[in-house]
């Protein structure tokens, strides 16, 4: 038994003297899902969730302070950010400035390596990288827990991308300050496990309903929501035990039923939200066929039609081949590192990156 081998986020104790910082973070895939908030403003979830941080599709974000600038400037992959992402990044910077007692505006440059049009969300890696870079640039001293709480305010799932390997995001208790202080992620102890996630892209188009809107509608209108939350709490307890045992089959079974249950809550919403497409079901059938052939492969899906298949690292190439019946592209991901500062630009180095 060990805590995960990957480094925690660095404490942002190393100060940059240049008024800027660059950070790198990776996306994570939840094996026990976050679906539903009890507080939209503070991004406090209804239940705990648990994820694996990936070693692919990193986000690199640079935050430079500009004391002359009247407003923040934000570029995404080299182009000015659209209105909605700009608003979210500027609101996040306001939060950091408020905590740090600073007023300078920032120039934010974010680059995602997730393939363009792959239909994979980048808000987890995006806000984890922004939290680490902005905290350093504004001299806000935060440990890994503080960075996780801060990243949570940008996007809930970003709280988990502060950590490498497997991480649990605690829902915490209460609302207001009590809720804010008690809701953060931390690493999960795992046994001997060579887990891979094969990412099957079935549809690269933009989603019809954002996960934020779908989540709220599900909590407010789906009669299936509360029962899923109850079963998800039990899934989390069982998942932690399965990870500790290094029991990939149990981890996969729990992850698959948790994801299907989450999608059932959305189908029960009024009006229904359906992210699964016919191609999603073709991939799910291929996963069932793999199991019939004796391969331990288990599916999970997020707020979109793409499928991520958990399997042993040694089986990943075979699983990827089998999924191509329904998927246009596949990628193999393994456990990746936590978010951290990047060396270069005269800025201090982050741990392990
Ligand atoms: C998850 N998802 O646990 C779940 C499963 C999608 C399905 O976290 O509103 O972008 O910014 O907190 O983190 C996607 O939601 O939502 C997500 P906000 P977020 O990974």
Which residues have CB under 6 Å of ligand 1? Answer: 30, 33-35, 43, 49, 121, 123, 155-157, 211-212, 302-303
Closest atom of ligand 1 to 157 CA is 13
Closest atom of ligand 1 to 127 CA is 11
The CA 211 to ligand 1 mean position distance, Å, reads: 6
| Cα angle: 322, vertex 324, 329; to 5 degrees | 135
Instruction: Yes or no: say if 31 and 255 are a contact pair by the CB < 8 Å rule.
Output: yes
Residue 15, pLDDT score: 43
Closest atom of ligand 1 to 302 CA is 7
Position with higher pLDDT, 259 vs 351: 259
Confidence of residue 127 (pLDDT cuts 50, 70, 90): very high
| Cα angle: 336, vertex 48, 34; to 5 degrees | 70
| Domains observed in the chain | 3-190 (3.30.230.10), 195-334 (3.30.70.890)
Residue 223 burial (C-beta neighbours within 10 Å; 0-12, 13-18, 19+): exposed
Residues 6+ apart with CB under 8 A from 63: 20, 21, 22, 93, 106, 107, 108, 130, 133, 134, 136, 137
Confidence of residue 325 (pLDDT cuts 50, 70, 90): confident
Position with higher pLDDT, 176 vs 120: 176
Q: Is the dihedral of CA 265, 272, 85, 122 positive or negative?
A: positive
Instruction: Yes or no: say if 107 and 64 are a contact pair by the CB < 8 Å rule.
Output: yes
Residues paired with 51 in a beta bridge:
30, 167
Closest atom of ligand 1 to 259 CA is 5
Which residue of 128, 152, 260, 303 sits with most ligand 1 atoms within 8 Å of its CB, as the best mutation to test the pocket?
A: 303
Confidence of residue 344 (pLDDT cuts 50, 70, 90): low
Which helix (DSSP H) or strand (DSSP E) does residue 133 occupy? helix 123-137
Residue 287 burial (C-beta neighbours within 10 Å; 0-12, 13-18, 19+): buried
Instruction: Identify the DSSP state of 344.
Output: B
| pLDDT tens for each residue of 6-43 | 344 444 434 444 589 999 999 999 999 999 999 999 99
The CA 287 to ligand 1 mean position distance, Å, reads: 24
The CA 148 to ligand 1 mean position distance, Å, reads: 15
Distances (CA, A) of 59 to 27, 111, 114, 115, 308: 8, 6, 8, 11, 19
Dist CA 73 CA 97 (whole Å): 15
Dist CA 248 CA 254 (whole Å): 10
The CA 35 to ligand 1 mean position distance, Å, reads: 7
Radius of gyration of the chain (CA): 19
pTM as predicted: 0.93
What is the rounded average pLDDT for all residues in the chain? Answer: 92
Q: Average pLDDT, stretch 300-308?
A: 96
Residue 208, pLDDT score: 80
- Percent of the chain at pLDDT exceeding 90: 87
Pick the residue whose CA is nearest to atom 11 on ligand 1.
155
- Of 330, 197, 234, 222, the C-alpha closest to 274 is 222
Distances (CA, A) of 100 to 64, 96, 129, 197, 272: 15, 6, 18, 38, 42
The CA 302 to ligand 1 mean position distance, Å, reads: 8
| pLDDT tens for each residue of 248-301 | 999 999 999 999 999 999 999 999 999 999 999 999 999 999 999 999 999 999
| pLDDT tens for each residue of 76-124 | 999 999 999 999 999 999 999 999 999 999 999 999 998 766 667 789 9
| Cα angle: 187, vertex 301, 165; to 5 degrees | 20
Q: For the chain, how are helix, strand and coil distributed in percent, rounded to 5? A: 40, 25, 40
Closest atom of ligand 1 to 212 CA is 9
Residue 4, pLDDT score: 40
> Residue 219: how many CB atoms within 10 A of its CB?
19
Instruction: Yes or no: say if 115 and 45 are a contact pair by the CB < 8 Å rule.
Output: no
Q: Average pLDDT, stretch 42-50?
A: 98
């Amino acid at each position: 038994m060990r805590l995960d081998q990957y480094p925690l986020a660095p404490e942002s104790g190393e100060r940059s003297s240049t008024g800027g910082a660059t950070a790198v973070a990776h996306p994570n895939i939840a094996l026990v899902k976050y679906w539903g908030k009890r507080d939209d403003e503070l991004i406090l979830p209804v239940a705990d969730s648990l994820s694996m941080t990936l070693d692919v599709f990193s986000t690199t974000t640079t935050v430079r302070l500009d004391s002359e600038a009247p407003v923040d400037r934000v570029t995404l992959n080299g182009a000015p950010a659209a209105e909605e992402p700009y608003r979210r990044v500027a609101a996040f910077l306001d939060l950091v400035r408020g905590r740090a007692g600073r007023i300078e505006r920032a120039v934010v440059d974010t680059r995602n390596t997730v393939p363009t049009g792959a239909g994979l969300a980048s808000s987890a890696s995006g806000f984890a990288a922004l939290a680490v870079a902005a905290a350093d640039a504004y001299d806000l001293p935060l440990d890994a827990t503080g960075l996780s709480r801060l990243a949570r305010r940008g996007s809930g799932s970003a709280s988990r991308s502060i950590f490498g390997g497997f991480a649990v995001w605690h829902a915490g208790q209460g609302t207001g300050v009590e809720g804010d202080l008690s809701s953060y992620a931390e690493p999960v102890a795992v046994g001997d496990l060579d887990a891979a996630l094969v990412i099957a892209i079935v549809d690269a188009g933009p989603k019809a309903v954002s996960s934020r809107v779908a989540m709220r509608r599900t909590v407010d209108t789906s009669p299936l929501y509360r029962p899923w939350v109850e079963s998800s709490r039990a899934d989390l307890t069982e998942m932690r035990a399965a990870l500790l045992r290094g029991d990939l089959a149990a981890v996969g079974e729990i992850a698959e039923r948790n994801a299907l249950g989450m999608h059932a809550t959305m189908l029960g919403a009024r009006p229904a939200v359906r992210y699964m497409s016919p191609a999603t079901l073709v991939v799910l059938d291929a996963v069932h066929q793999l199991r019939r052939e004796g391969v331990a492969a288990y599916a999970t899906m997020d707020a979109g039609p793409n499928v991520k298949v958990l399997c042993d690292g040694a089986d990943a190439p075979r699983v990827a081949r089998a999924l191509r019946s329904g998927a246009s592209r596949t990628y193999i991901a393994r456990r990746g590192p936590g978010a951290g500062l990047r060396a270069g630009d005269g800025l201090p180095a982050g741990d392990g990156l």
